[in-house]
Amino acid sequence: MMSCLPTFSWRFLAVWQRNFKVWKKLALPSVLGNLADPMMYMLGLGYGLGRLLPDVNGVPYLSFLAAGTVCYSTMNSATFEVLYSAFSRMHVQKSWEAILNAPMTLDDVVLGELSWAASKSLLSGLAILTVIWLLGLQSSWLLSLWVIPVVVLIGICFAGMGLVMNSISPNYDFFMYYFTLVITPMVLLCGVFYPVTELPHWLQTVSSWLPLTHAIDLARPLLLGSMPQDILLHAFALLAYGLVGFVVALHLTRKRLLT
Amino acid sequence: MRVLTVDNLAKRYGDRRVVDGISFTIEKGQCFGLLGPNGAGKTTTLRLLLGLIRPDGGQIDLLGHAIPQAAREARMRVGVVPQMDNLDPDFTVRENLLVYGRYFGLAHAEIEARIPRLLELAGLQARADSLINSLSGGMKRRLTLARALVNDPDLIFLDEPTTGLDPQARHLLWHSLRQLMNEGKTILLTTHYMDEAERLCNVLGIMDAGKLIAFGPPGEMIARHIEPSVVEVYGDVLHDAQVIMQPHCERLERVGETLFGYCAKAEPVLQALKPLAALRITHRPANLEDVFLKLTGRDLRD
Ligand SMILES: Nc1ncnc2c1ncn2[C@@H]1O[C@H](COP(=O)(O)OP(=O)(O)OP(=O)(O)O)[C@@H](O)[C@H]1O
Ligand SMILES: [Mg+2]
């Protein structure tokens, strides 16, 4: 912890376990919450808009929307976890300080939080995926299973990015900036609700650099029954955003708590 | 056996030397009390000893481990009661112990086996399944102590363990600490209460502005730093009293309506003060608080 290089121990899993133990107490409402919001979007927009649109890129609008919904609710779930929940553990409840008095490093704690947020968002993604399967929106069963690892990558990506905000935030209100400046633009620019190709050229360029675009470029073909292109590039982009975020967050959180 | 060796430890925040070259040692089984006014650097010292912050100079050996390099190994054998309670409000009393034990890599069954004993020590057997927010301040403090013992540590750090507690709760906590000392545990505590330090500790350090300005057993410290008798005079003709006491006392100090006379013998002073019947006069042996105030002064610190 004293060196610049991270020092981890397997006890980071104890942080994961701690969060899991709390989650278990409220598991049912939490899972329902995971489902309700994206379901309303998907069904509301899917049926509401879907009737106005004959098809999008040759598929029914609801099928088009399915992949966007998986990606964006996974993103939201990971983001909320590392912003509001991790922040209350770190800053309000001082749980992190308590943990640091045990033989744990801050690196363990932050890694524990990242893995927990990724796990929780995996659950969100799986919940939507289940709805997609129930509604039969996937073209191929087998290909749609590959959305699961994509969801894991999305979780890691946005947990890592969100932890940076967690490390510099003075209070909960600060997170609004992140939603307004990062998350909302991403929802609008990355092809959740409509194809990126509908955007002006310069916005498409911006979009191609955003992590959610990479997520959707993987998930959408998989749900529509074809192999995605540039799989390694997209996977690498998601991981890179997550890892860079994680390393920066580690550095800033050390500064915040350990000086 | 030496449990802790601190040599010339230093920490700066900006231009402020918050810990300014302190050195001391603690032997196994000792209870070391670190005293000092607000902002003296006590909590910062503890954080340095735990390897949570990087010192700007000096050496620390904690239970045979160099700090901060091997802080993780050292913390395996240390228990910490922080200045501010940070129990986990998402959990019950029992769950707090269970979850905390996992941070030490302890197996579930092992922690479960230790919990009854910890609950007993904290006097919380009846509250095992209560949520933290329903506990009183004293209960929280006791649970924090129990949590610090979950790894059966050799050395326990307590940062102001009884601040804000009522007398009953303080006595109960002292009782627990004595029990731990009887078991051979070593204790390092910080406190603002002189009676606490005098009762519990066999070695004291007084810290002021980052420096360790006195170190030693409480009795020795009183004998070394201060006159044995104190005559306190309250009233509004203090000037007359001052003139009378001057020749009999080594030191006189006036604080508002009170005059403190520090002297080798109280009898002559009391005799001389007889004519001033309007004054309220008390006489007591010098105590640790007198030493503390002499060494650190009477000014407010922040
Ligand atoms: N992270 C920090 N950055 C800057 N200054 C700090 C930091 N931590 C502590 N200080 C300063 O160092 C000084 C010593 O603080 P410390 O908390 O060690 O005092 P203390 O002896 O524990 O006081 P108290 O009795 O009030 O708990 C204080 O003036 C404090 O403001
Ligand atoms: Mg303090």
Domains of chain B are 2-216 (3.40.50.300), 227-285 (3.30.70.980)
Looking at beta carbons, which pairs linking B249-252 to residues 24 or more positions away fall under 8 Å? B251/B227
What is the distance between the alpha carbons of residues B182 and A19, in angstroms, rounded to a whole number? 37
Are the Cβ atoms of A259 and B50 closer than 8 angstroms?
Answer: no
What is the distance between the alpha carbons of residues B32 and B129, in angstroms, rounded to a whole number? 34
- Counting DSSP H helices and E strands in chain A, the numbers are 13, 0
B92-145: per-residue pLDDT in tens? 999 999 999 999 999 999 999 999 999 999 999 999 999 999 999 999 999 999
CA atoms within 13 A on the CB side of B240: 12
Look at residue A7 and tell me if it is in a domain. no
Start-to-end C-alpha separation, chain A: 12
B41-53: per-residue pLDDT in tens? 999 999 999 999 9
Indicate whether A119 pLDDT > 90: yes
What is the distance between the alpha carbons of residues B19 and A15, in angstroms, rounded to a whole number? 32
What is the distance between the alpha carbons of residues B155 and A213, in angstroms, rounded to a whole number? 53
What is the distance between the alpha carbons of residues A21 and B108, in angstroms, rounded to a whole number? 13
Helix axis angle, A61-80 to A27-50, nearest 10°: 150
Tell me if the bond preceding B68 is cis, omega within 30° of 0. Answer: yes
A6-15: per-residue pLDDT in tens? 788 999 999 9
Using 50, 70 and 90 to split pLDDT, how confident is the model at B302? Answer: low
Q: What are the DSSP E strand ranges found in B28-135?
A: 31-35, 57-62, 65-67, 78-81
Look at residue A4 and tell me if it is in a domain. no
Are the Cβ atoms of B91 and A7 closer than 8 angstroms?
Answer: no
Write down the pLDDT at residue B269: 87
* B213 to B11, B117, B217: CA distances (angstroms): 17, 39, 14
Write down the pLDDT at residue A252: 97
Instruction: Give me ligand 2 centre to Cα A117, in Å.
Output: 33
How many folded domains does chain A comprise?
1
Using 50, 70 and 90 to split pLDDT, how confident is the model at A4? Answer: low
Chain A from 95 to 154: CB within 8 A of any B CB: 95, 97-105
The DSSP H or E segment spanning A115 is helix A106-135
Q: Answer whether B216 contacts ligand 1 (Cβ < 6 A).
A: no
CB atoms within 10 A of CB B251: 13
What is the distance between the alpha carbons of residues A204 and B157, in angstroms, rounded to a whole number? 58
Look at ligand 1, atom 29, and give the residue with the nearest C-alpha.
Answer: B39
Whether pTM > 0.80 for this model: the answer is yes
Write down the pLDDT at residue A158: 98
B199-254: per-residue pLDDT in tens? 999 999 999 999 999 999 999 999 999 999 999 999 877 888 888 888 889 888 88
| For B73, nearest residue in chain A (alpha carbons) | A103
* B294 to B144, B222, B226: CA distances (angstroms): 34, 11, 8
CA atoms within 13 A on the CB side of B188: 28
Write down the pLDDT at residue A207: 96
Decide which of B76 and A34 is more confident: B76
Look at residue A3 and tell me if it is in a domain. no
Q: Mean per-residue pLDDT for B16-32?
A: 96
> Residue B86: its chain A contacts at CB < 8 A?
93-95, 97-98
Mutational pocket test of ligand 1: of B12, B18, B46, the residue with most ligand atoms within 8 Å of the beta carbon: B18
- Residue B206 in tokens: 């007084």
What is the distance between the alpha carbons of residues A103 and B106, in angstroms, rounded to a whole number? 11
Q: Mean per-residue pLDDT for A124-144?
A: 93
The DSSP secondary-structure symbol of B299 reads S
Look at residue A161 and tell me if it is in a domain. yes
Helix axis angle, A201-209 to A211-224, nearest 10°: 90
Are the Cβ atoms of A101 and B151 closer than 8 angstroms?
Answer: no
Q: Where is average pLDDT lowest: A164-168, B13-17, B245-249?
A: B245-249
Report percent pLDDT > 90 for chain B.
Answer: 75
Q: Mean per-residue pLDDT for B173-191?
A: 95
Look at residue A208 and tell me if it is in a domain. yes
Q: How many Å lie between the alpha carbon of A17 and the closest alpha carbon of chain B?
A: 8
What residue numbers bound the domain in which A139 lies? 12-258
Q: Answer whether B48 contacts ligand 1 (Cβ < 6 A).
A: no
Write down the pLDDT at residue A33: 82
**Is the minimum CB–CB distance between A88 and chain B shorter than 8 Å?**
no
**Is the minimum CB–CB distance between A6 and chain B shorter than 8 Å?**
no
CB B228 within 8 A of CB B287: no
ipTM confidence score: 0.91
Q: Answer whether B15 contacts ligand 1 (Cβ < 6 A).
A: no
